[in-house]
Structure 1
């Protein structure tokens, strides 16, 4: 498995996507990351690993996930035909299980004693706790206190699954701080622990590894769209925080310019406010969490406090491959506000009977906004990265539905 654009490997051997990515970390952590990279490249090619992962995808996760025609929504909007890639139907309710199974299996094959991770909305935490329970490895999840209060259903699930949940109260008590906390715990014993990063972010090899495990989304879209339409979609749309679900959906189509790829960032309360997480839209190249990428930062070079109604998207950085794809113009990065997101959440729920995660609702919001301007034979595939069970109480309170 390798990915290229114009014959250039993504990433290169040092883990760079153009000028982004790499390993901006202390020497002892670099040694641990290099160990993971070598083990990953060796283990992932073995028939044993490939067969075990394939079996779990099919019989545990429930892949392939369906490609559903949202007929009523398409008719209501009066433009493009909208299809939903139903990652919300995966076991644990989101795309996160794809790479969590891969990381947990890798930890087992490497003989690690504990898996450590961060989580924002809790989907990565639930998926990793699930995968660790399956393979029999202890799991420790770091989560910001703000997100713990917003995402109670996922918090309970993680505890039921046996994860040791660490509440992070420092800083903004959200995803960035959870990442910091998890990294610190990992550094205590990188020989015995493995840090299972929850997106296509962090030092090499994690942006590559997580992308590779998530690429099954785009591979399935390719096959399903040929079977359904006898062609590829005109648009593939996905929300972007760190960017794992989007990278999974986009990877199979990077060298096919006929397919427009749209990443949708959280505009929060508006791009003219300081309450957003639109990193690629308003950020600049810098470094964060051991990688070079676009970052939202202040005049002192410190990451800014960020906001999104979706806990899984409130991150001041973004995956290095997304940063590269922005610079070369292969992916168009747009935004959706909290208000548009809430509208999309309710619209999809009431028009199609599908309750989407608030993260995924950003991509749905783009489709709702843009589809009416497109022709009726245009095919838009929205990667519905997760379901909204975890968000239902929060949205009900926000909209006075209790």
Structure 2
């Protein structure tokens, strides 16, 4: 039996990680979501409606692109799954349209979520508009200032954007705020968690909805090259784009899977978001995972130049895959990420999201160390949201 069929177990555990640690008032609502997914997610009617949406609304399949200029310069063959061409500009719409469709079938009228970089918020607001539902997005004040274009997009799409002003005013606090708002609205709303994190069934459900990325990539790469890639990589914050990509290759013994996380600007707590490098098992937002924590065991402050990776935890499945040695996890710094952002923009005419630029940076580094190898990365989002922040703070890459 394939890996994906075996994990998670019925209680939502990937080895020792995962589960659902919920206040009693939310337990029946998460069980309702689980049962709806297990029933609807395997029905031909639901799947055919989702396939129609993906083809005729999202513009799937997105292409795999051979980065010929970058490959020539690096000395290895770099391919990119162009999720930046997915409608709304990132992979997030893959699970947002599916979660909204699930909510519609459950009789819900509202979607609630957190967002960091704003890509999940934009995608969920898009899905809410498509299905005629209300939408409430919680976003930290730091990220609102940093990702202003996405805030504008969410509001244009009809979403109510709720600024989060407590704590670190970033992604963790946005999740806290969204959960607090969801509790009294759970009868009529779905909390559409934005990654492979949170209580069961969301890590499983979001992974499965995102697996379209990996399955398409595998078929496309085989058609283009005639064999599978040596290396497959993706950035990891919560980890949805990575698990979606890995799903297509996880049973292929000759393909090495790589997650790329933010080393930020230093090694001290609060200077990075490198959970796999510096974390240890802990609890956050109703599930167990590798966690960056302080001396008291509480989630630590984190930093990344990419707002979508700015989270002290990580998906429980990523935690399991690291422990089992099925995926290699690497880190790249803010500086390396910026270099990759400028390089891909100027060499290939593709402006990547800062999150995706982490994967580009790793591919460039790995390619230089392994000339002639084939590397497929998930270019999970486009950089429209980041260009003002980058150019105002770092210029146009003149010093590269």
Question: Which range, TM-score by smaller chain?
Answer: over 0.9
Shift of residue 274, structure 1, vs aligned partner: 3.6
Q: Does 1:132 align with 2:128?
A: yes
Give the TM-score normalised by structure 1. 0.97
CA contact (8 A) 2:261 2:329 kept: yes
- Structure 1 CA distance for aligned equivalents of residues 3 and 72 of structure 2: 38
SS of match in other structure, 2:247: helix
Please list the CA deviations of residues 251-289 of structure 1 after superposition, one character each: whole Å capped at 9, or x if unmatched. Answer: 121121210111000000023564000011100001100
Asked if 1:300 is matched to 2:296, the reply is: yes
- 2:248 is paired with a residue whose SS is helix
Is 1:46 the counterpart of 2:47 in the alignment?
A: no
Q: CA deviation at 1:12?
A: 0.3
CA separation of 1:106 and 1:251: change in aligned 2, threshold 3 A: same
Name the counterpart of 1:87: 83
- Give deviations 1:349-370, integer Å, cap 9, x for gaps: 0000100000000000001111
Q: 1:228 to 1:370 in 2, by over 3 A?
A: same
Q: Do residues 200 (structure 1) and 196 (structure 2) align? A: yes
Q: After superposition, where does 1:326-337 map in structure 2 within 5 Å? A: 326-337=322-333
Paired position in structure 2 for 1:18:
15
Equivalent residue, structure 1, for 2:103: 107
- Number of aligned residue pairs: give it: 397
Which residue of 1 is the match for residue 27 of structure 2?
30
Query: Which residue in the other structure is 1:159 paired with?
Result: 155
Pick closer, same or farther for the CA change 1:165–1:272 going to 2, 3 Å: closer
How does 1:234-249 map onto structure 2 within 5 Å?
Answer: 234-249=230-245
Shift of 1:3: 5.5
Matched residues in 2 for 1:400 and 1:45: separation? 49
Indicate yes or no: 2:31 matched with 1:4.
no
Aligned partners of 1:77 and 1:272: how far apart in 2? 31
- The 1-side partners of 2:292 and 2:396 are apart by 34
Equivalent of 1:116 in 112, 115, 129: 112
Q: Could you tell me which residue of structure 1 aligns to residue 74 of structure 2?
A: 77
After the TM superposition, which of the residue ranges 264-273 and 11-20 deviates more from structure 2? 264-273
What is the 5 A alignment of 1:195-344? 195-272=191-268, 274-344=270-340
Gaps of 5+ in 2: none
**Aligned partners of 1:34 and 1:57: how far apart in 2?**
27
Counterpart secondary structure, 1:330: coil
Q: In 2, distance between residues paired with 1:361 and 1:375?
A: 20
Q: Which range moves more in the overlay, 176-185 or 45-54?
A: 45-54
8 Å CA contact 1:3–1:10 kept in 2: the answer is no
CA–CA separation in structure 2 for the residues paired with 1:223 and 1:231: 10
1:173 to 149, 159, 169: 169
* Structure 1 residue matching 2:293: 3-state secondary structure: coil
Are the equivalent residues in 1 in contact too, given 2:289–2:319 (CA < 8 A)? yes
CA distance in 2, matches of 1:390, 1:367: 22
**Separation in structure 1 between the aligned mates of residue 93 and residue 111 of structure 2, nearest angstrom:** 15
Aligned with 1:275: secondary structure? coil
Other-structure match for 1:400 = 395
Shift of 1:340: 0.4
Aligned 1:353-392 pairs, distance under 5 A? 353-376=349-372, 378-392=373-387
Matched residue SS, 1:365: helix
SS of corresponding position for 1:266? strand
TM-score by length of 2: 0.97
- The answer on whether the counterparts of 2:269 and 2:302 sit within 8 Å (CA) in structure 1 is no
**How far apart in 1 are the matches of 2:363 and 2:141?**
32
SS at match of 1:252: coil
Which consecutive unaligned segments of at least 5 residues does structure 1 have?
A: none
CA separation in 1, counterparts of 2:348 and 2:364?
13
Which digits, 9 at most, give the CA deviation of each residue in 1:113-167, with x for residues without a partner? 2110000000000000001100111000000000000001000000000001100
Between the aligned partners of 1:83 and 1:333, the Cα distance in structure 2 is 19
